[in-house]
Amino acid sequence: MARETGVAASSILARIDVPASAFAERPSFIHTVREGIAGKVVRQAVDVFGQRDLFVRLVGVSPGNLHRVYRRKTLSSAQSEALLDTLRLFSKASEALGGLEMAREWLNTPLPALHGERPFALCDTFDGRRLVADVIAKIEYGEFP
């Protein structure tokens, strides 16, 4: 599903219909956000990660209206950016932790480094995603919170 653009897509991103380069290159990320992500990407993300409530919060709709988001041709820039940033974070977690299943488990575990919060629970805000990204970076560098 991921559109190849010269950058190898991770196994997670291969299931999501966005350019693989958007996860690796800032100019491509910005371009993809400005173009807008298709609503079907939200459905793909829910299918891959579960966490329907998180994606409801990311796109700012009620749980009963999420199905309408799936049919949108494009999401707003703010919705696209939040979704793409979250997917990029999930991809980094998968790479740092050795795969999708390990990442799902880690993202759903309360962590002392996050004051007892689950990483998934923090991903609905920009600062929350930055906190989670900081912990992933520490894992990549050998610090294991």
HSE, side-chain direction, 13 A CA sphere, residue 24: 13
| In-domain check, residue 4 | no
Domain limits for position 37: 13-140
| In-domain check, residue 1 | no
Rounded CA-CA distance 95/137 in Å is 11
Share of residues in the chain with pLDDT > 70 (%): 90
| In-domain check, residue 61 | yes
Question: Would you give per-residue pLDDT tens digits along the chain (145 residues)?
Answer: 443 333 333 566 778 899 888 888 999 999 999 999 999 999 999 998 888 999 999 999 999 999 999 999 999 999 999 999 999 999 889 889 988 889 989 999 999 999 999 999 999 999 999 999 999 999 988 876 5
- Please name the residue ranges forming H helices in 50-114: 52-59, 66-70, 77-97, 100-107
Task: State the pLDDT at residue 10.
Answer: 56
Rounded CA-CA distance 98/43 in Å is 24
| In-domain check, residue 7 | no
Q: How many domains does the chain divide into?
A: 1
Please tell me the pTM assigned to this model: 0.85
| In-domain check, residue 8 | no
Q: Cα-atom radius of gyration of the chain, to the nearest Å?
A: 14
| In-domain check, residue 89 | yes
Summarised one tens digit per residue, pLDDT across range 58-71 is: 999 999 999 999 99
Question: CB within 8 A of 99, min separation 6: which ones?
Answer: 11
Task: State the pLDDT at residue 76.
Answer: 94
| In-domain check, residue 6 | no
Contacts by residues 122-130 (CB-CB < 8 Å, ≥ 24 positions apart): 123/54, 123/58, 123/86, 123/89, 124/54, 124/57, 124/58, 124/82, 126/82, 126/85, 129/85, 129/86, 129/89
Task: State the pLDDT at residue 9.
Answer: 38
